[in-house]
Amino acid sequence: MKTTVALLFGGRSGEHGISCVTAGGVLAAIDRTRYDVIPIGVTRDGRYVLVSDDPEHWRITDGKAPEVPADGDEVLLPAGAHRPGEPIVLRVIRGDRVETLAEIDVLFPLLHGPYGEDGTLQGALDLLDVPYVGSGVLASAVCMDKAATKTALRAAGIPCAPDVVVREDEWAQDAQGVLDRVRRDLELPWFVKPARAGSSLGVTKVSDPAELDHAMKTAFAEDPKVLIEAGVAGREVECGVLAGRGGEAPRTTVPGEVRIGDDLEFYDYESKYFGKGTVEIEVPAQLTGEQIAAVRAVAAHAFVSLGLEGLARVDVFVAADGRVVVNEVNTMPGFTPFSMFPVLWANMGLDYAALIAELVELARARRIGLR
């Protein structure tokens, strides 16, 4: 019998459109001889609706990302936790009736950012004993918050860039005091980031302290908690990680490298998804054998130390002296066919369709409840 997968995408975060594009890639590639797919879109106001499973509906068109329509039939999650051996039933509201939609085996959340990648959805699914792809509540929450990620990584002895965390109220009350502290503790350039946003949303590179006020306002538009980091001189390298099967160690890819041209200050949201500037993705990265081994070891160490499950992409800087400094850890990395994570695994011999299947099977094999 086929496995039934509920694909969940869209969501309330600023990465709604990119999540929809990711879903289009998965819908086009998933093996329909093995899997039945129930496509569920999450509207910008958080409603779950039944949507089209046609991949063409979820493409970037004329420079615009797709969006989950607000008027679809509403999908209801199970009414309570299911008992072992009982089906997990999704229902749908059609007109004035509630009907059975499908019995599912696993849920695949392709949500990026807050209200999907941050432990909130994972908590809801754990309450209902619904198997799902990816990390659990704590690991998802920690990795969504860049400051919390750094605290956990440093406790594990994994190097990160120096930083200062600033709350919006603190900035409003004493911007000059914050500036003085940042100038004292961090060398320029600074990268100002929302603590809980992805895909470089709201990120600004600051080369002059006079630019900090504008950068903070840009970041606060995404999150009232902001991270100011010292720039790290090094090559920007990314490594894919998959959980091991049956308690085995996590599996890592040979790393890839992001190279940007002189027309970009850094690898920002528009350059990632909308063709801005000169960007080269090199897989595998042209590193020495020693550097490759070091990146893979750090990625695996981070995965275990953070308690991650399923998948992750660990982004690092490789400094000239060989040090590997972790930049970010993504628990639901970009997952279009051309995103770095699937490309890294394709380079390892695991193509896009097989990668999707591996993630579904990892989720199905994982125990329900506390683990």
Taking the CA atoms of residue 284, residue 288, residue 290 and residue 291 in that order, the dihedral angle to the nearest 10 degrees is -60
Q: Do 196 and 146 contact (CB within 8 A), yes or no?
A: yes
Mean pLDDT value across residues 103-114: 95
Q: Which range, of 69-73, 262-266, 348-352, averages the lowest pLDDT? A: 262-266
Is the pLDDT at 275 greater than 90? The verdict is no
Cβ-in-10-Å burial (0-12, 13-18, 19+) of 356 comes to buried
Percent share of the chain, pLDDT over 90: 83
| pLDDT for res 79 | 83
Q: Which range, of 7-11, 15-19, 274-278, 332-336, averages the lowest pLDDT? A: 274-278
Residue-wise pLDDT tens digits, 28-42: 999 999 999 999 999
| pLDDT for res 216 | 98
Mean pLDDT of the chain: 93
Is the pLDDT at 270 greater than 90? The verdict is no
Whole-number Å distance between alpha carbons of 259 and 282: 8
| pLDDT for res 248 | 94
Mean pLDDT value across residues 198-227: 93
| pLDDT for res 267 | 67
Neighbours of 340 (CB within 10 A): 25
| pLDDT for res 200 | 77
Whole-number Å distance between alpha carbons of 91 and 364: 21
Whole-number Å distance between alpha carbons of 293 and 285: 12
| pLDDT for res 226 | 98
Is the pLDDT at 357 greater than 70? The verdict is yes
Q: Where are the alpha helices (DSSP H) in 196-276?
A: 212-220, 269-273
Residue-wise pLDDT tens digits, 109-126: 999 999 999 999 999 999
| pLDDT for res 371 | 82
Mean pLDDT value across residues 318-337: 93
| pLDDT for res 46 | 95
Single-letter residue type at 274: F
Which residue reads 């000169």 in tokens? Answer: 278
Cβ-in-10-Å burial (0-12, 13-18, 19+) of 72 comes to middle
| pLDDT for res 269 | 61
Is the pLDDT at 316 greater than 90? The verdict is yes
